[in-house]
Amino acid sequence: MIEEVPEKRLNRRTRGERNKRRERYFLFNESYDYDTESDDLSDDMSPPSTPPANNNFFKDGEKSSGEGKPKTSYANKTTERKDHLYKILVIGDLGAGKTSIIKRYVHRFFTQHYRATIGVDFALKVLNWDENTLIRLQLWDIAGQERYGNMTRVYYKEAVGAFIVFDVTRITTFESVAKWKTDLDSKVQLSDGSPIPCVLLANKCDQPKEGLVNNHNKMDEYCKENGFTAWFETSAKDNINIDEAARALVNKILENDTLLNVESAKDQEKFSITKEANAQRNGKLCSC
Ligand code: GTP
Ligand code: MG
Please tell me the distance from the alpha carbon of residue 192 to that of residue 179, in angstroms, as a whole number: 23
Ligand 1 centroid from CA 193, angstroms: 33
Residues with CB under 6 A from ligand 1: 94-100, 111-112, 114, 116-117, 143-144, 203-204, 206-207, 235-237
Rounded to the nearest angstrom, the distance between the alpha carbon of 203 and the centre of ligand 1 is 9
Ligand 1 centroid distance, CA of 29 (Å): 30
Residues 130, 254: Cα–Cα separation, whole Å? 12
The CA-based angle 32-35-37, given to 5 degrees, is 80
Q: Which ligand lies nearest the alpha carbon of 103? A: 1
Distance CA 103, CA 123 (A): 8
Q: What is the pLDDT of residue 102?
A: 98
Give the per-residue pLDDT at 70.
36
CA 59 to each of CA 54, 79, 158, 260: distance values in angstroms, whole numbers, following the listed order: 11, 21, 9, 11
- Among the bound ligands, name the one nearest to the CA of residue 207: 1
pLDDT of residue 258: 85
Nearest Cα residue to 107 out of 89, 93, 121? 121
Name the residue type at position 243: D
**Which amino acid residue places its CA nearest to atom 5 of ligand 1?**
95
> Alpha helices, DSSP H only, in 80-176?
98-102, 152-156, 171-175
Distance 91 CA to ligand 2 centre (A): 9
CA atoms within 13 A on the CB side of 17: 6
Which pLDDT score is estimated for 149?
79
pLDDT of residue 260: 77
- What pLDDT, on the 0 to 100 scale, is given for residue 48? 39
Contact 119, 151 (CB under 8 A): yes
Dihedrals phi, psi of 277, to nearest 5 degrees? -60, -45
Probe target for ligand 1 pocket from 45, 98, 100, 177, with the most ligand atoms within 8 Å of CB: 100
Query: For each of the chain's 288 residues, which pLDDT tens digit applies?
Result: 444 444 444 456 666 666 666 555 554 444 343 333 333 333 333 333 333 433 323 233 233 333 333 333 444 445 688 899 999 999 999 999 999 999 999 999 999 999 999 999 999 999 999 999 999 999 999 999 998 778 999 999 999 999 999 999 999 999 999 999 999 999 999 999 999 999 999 999 999 999 999 999 999 999 999 999 999 999 999 999 999 999 999 999 999 988 877 766 666 666 566 666 666 666 654 443
pLDDT for 31? 39
